[in-house]
Structure formats: structure tokens, C-alpha cells
Amino acid sequence: MEISTLATYHCLAFVWYFFVTYSITHVRTEERPSEVFLYGGQWKYLTVLNLVLQAVFYGVSFLADALRLIKKLRCAKCVISSRDLLFTVLAFPVSTFVCLSFWTLYTYNRELVYPKSLDGVIPLWLNHAMHTAVLPFAVLEILATPHRYPAKKKGLILLGFVAFLYISWVLWIYSVTGEWVYPLFALFRPAGLAAFFTCSLAIIISFYNFGEFLNRMIWGQSKFWF
């Protein structure tokens, strides 16, 4: 894909994610179900944090494209390294996990992850923007441009550290409020919850590996733009 075309795509993707993030964070207070938006607000939900992550990633990607267009290659190389680390370690595995885990649990019992009371607050298009569109965007990014993956150990340590931070945030919210971020967690005893978090981490690591596999199959080992 030509750099100018890629820059246009990344700019539009950034604007889209900024708009979606703005939309979900500006749900009118009086319309919010009391059992949903308590301590931590929307920032306790992985879905919303993922929207911010995607906006940051596409913003960095657009900056890298712009630097390449104006021939600032030394700066572009540094920004591209940051872009690739963001995408490979976080943006692709997290967006894949959000989409597939949400719709799996929603199909099983929506009250565990997305109570019906939210239907009157969050429009259908916004629900799909947060939980469905994130996966096609991630796959399209792999098809659009190659990304350099870090050493496997480094990538998995970074991914595991971010997962640990989010789990710690979830547990902190429970310790303060006595309520779980997702009703699903209330079904488990401590050992079961630990097993659930472990399995979730294993799944997101498999998505990391799958992204690396797709990137290698499409672009090979050596085609990278600097």
C-alpha cells in the first residue's frame, strides 16, 4: 500500500476510534444504569480501555506515515518501532480478545457481560463499534502493513505485565466497592476466579501468537519499511 494511502487510512481509523471513545465516555449521566457506571466509571471496562489503546495506536501510525512522507526517516524509524510494539503486543491481541470473548459470553448469557439495561443507553451501532468492528480493523492492519514483532520473551512479558495491571485494577475496584466489574466474576470462588484469569491470559497469548503467525505468513520475515 502506498504511504499516502496508508496515512489516509490510519488518519481515518484514528478519527473513528477517537469518535467512538468520545461517544461512550459522554453517555449522559442521568441515563446511566446505577448498577453499571459506579466506581471507576467506564475506565474499569476492558472494552473502553481498548478503544483508547486503538486510538493511540492509530495516532502513532499516522505520525509514522507523516514522517515517512516528509522524509524524516530517522524520526520515522523510532516512531515505527513504537507503533509495531503497540500493535503486536497490545492492539491486535487485546482487540481480538475483546471481540471474541464478548460475543461468546453475550451469546451464552448477556447479563454476565452486557446487561439488558444498557440497551436503552448505548445505541446498537456503538455496541458493535466497541465489540465487533475492533477485530476487522485489527486484521485489516495486518493486511495493510508489516509489523516487526519483538523477541518472543519480551513480547509475552510486556503482555503479561499489562494483563496483571488490568486484573489488579479489577480486584482493587472489588475491594473498594464489593462489586465486580463484570457480573460473570461473581459466579466464581477465589480459586475458580484465578483459574478464569489464567485461562483468559492463555487465550490472549494465543491471539498474540496468531497475530505473529499471520504477519509472518503475509509479509515474511524480512519485509519492513523504515
Q: How confident is the model at residue 133 (pLDDT cuts 50, 70, 90)?
A: very high
Q: Give the pLDDT score at 226.
A: 47
Nearest alpha carbon to residue 35 among 136, 116, 151: 116
pLDDT tens track for 8-20: 999 999 999 999 9
Instruction: Calculate ∠ Cα 43-46-52, nearest 5°.
Output: 65
Range in 94-103, 110-119, 155-164 the model is least confident about: 110-119
Q: Could you read off the pLDDT of 181-217 as tens digits, one per residue?
A: 998 999 999 999 999 999 999 999 999 999 999 999 9
| CA–CA distance, 205 with 3 (Å, rounded to integer) | 31
pTM over 0.85? The answer is: yes
What is the pLDDT, as a whole number, of residue 37? Answer: 52
SS (H, E, C) the chain: CCHHHHHHHHHHHHHHHHHHHHHHHCCCHHHCCCCCCCCCHHHHCHHHHHHHHHHHHHHHHHHHHHHHHCCCHHHHHHHHHHHHHHHHHHHHHHHHHHHHHHHHHHHHHHHHCCCHHHHHCCCHHHHHHHHCCHHHHHHHHHHHCCCCCCCHHHHHHHHHHHHHHHHHHHHHHHHHHCCCCCHHHHHCCHHHHHHHHHHHHHHHHHHHHHHHHHHHHHHCCCCCCC
* Rounded distance between C-alpha atoms, residue 58 and residue 89, angstroms: 14
- pLDDT above 70: percentage of residues in the chain: 92
Confidence tier at 61 by pLDDT (50, 70, 90): very high
Using CA atoms, how far apart are residues 69 and 17, in angstroms rounded to an integer? 23
Give the mean pLDDT of 36-50: 82
**CA-based diameter of the chain, in Å?**
57
Cα–chain center distance at 131: 10
